[in-house]
Amino acid sequence: MTLELFLVVAVALFSVGLFGALTQQSIVMLMMGLELMLGGIILAAAALWHYVAPASTDGQVLIVLAVTVMAVEMAIGFAIVTALFRAREVDMTDEAAELKG
């Protein structure tokens, strides 16, 4: 168990999430990719807190921030998809490209 190992796991999660966010057509699946990326960031923050600066709480605050971002991303994402679907029956990124209502 070293800092590097934790970071490699975090980067792996981030990359897998990035793959999903880039390639998925459905907005909901795209958000799952974003969640995975944020999961990687949380892990990296926790590892950096533990191995580099455990005396300060900055790493922990970063995790609180990331967790909140996850919650906000989910809520807003679902609300937008719901609104989009209600207005135009669209739930794919390609069809939602133009933003006019």
- Taking CA atoms, 43 is separated from 68, 83, 89, 92, in Å, by 15, 33, 37, 30
Please state the separation of Cα 101 from the chain's center in Å. Answer: 27
* Distance of closest approach, residue 53 Cβ to other proteins, in angstroms: 5
What's the token pair of residue 86?
A: 């209600």
Residues that bind other proteins (CB under 8 A): 1, 3-9, 11-20, 22-29, 31-33, 35-36, 39, 42-43, 46-47, 49-57, 60-61, 63-65, 67-68, 70-72, 74-76, 78-83, 85-86, 91, 94
**Of 11 and 88, which has the nearer Cβ to other proteins?**
11
* Distance of closest approach, residue 87 Cβ to other proteins, in angstroms: 10
Counting other chains too, the contacts that 12-20 makes at CB distance below 8 Å and 24 or more residues apart are: 12/40, 13/37, 13/39, 13/40, 13/43, 14/40, 14/41, 14/44, 15/40
* Distance of closest approach, residue 100 Cβ to other proteins, in angstroms: 16
**Of 86 and 100, which has the nearer Cβ to other proteins?**
86
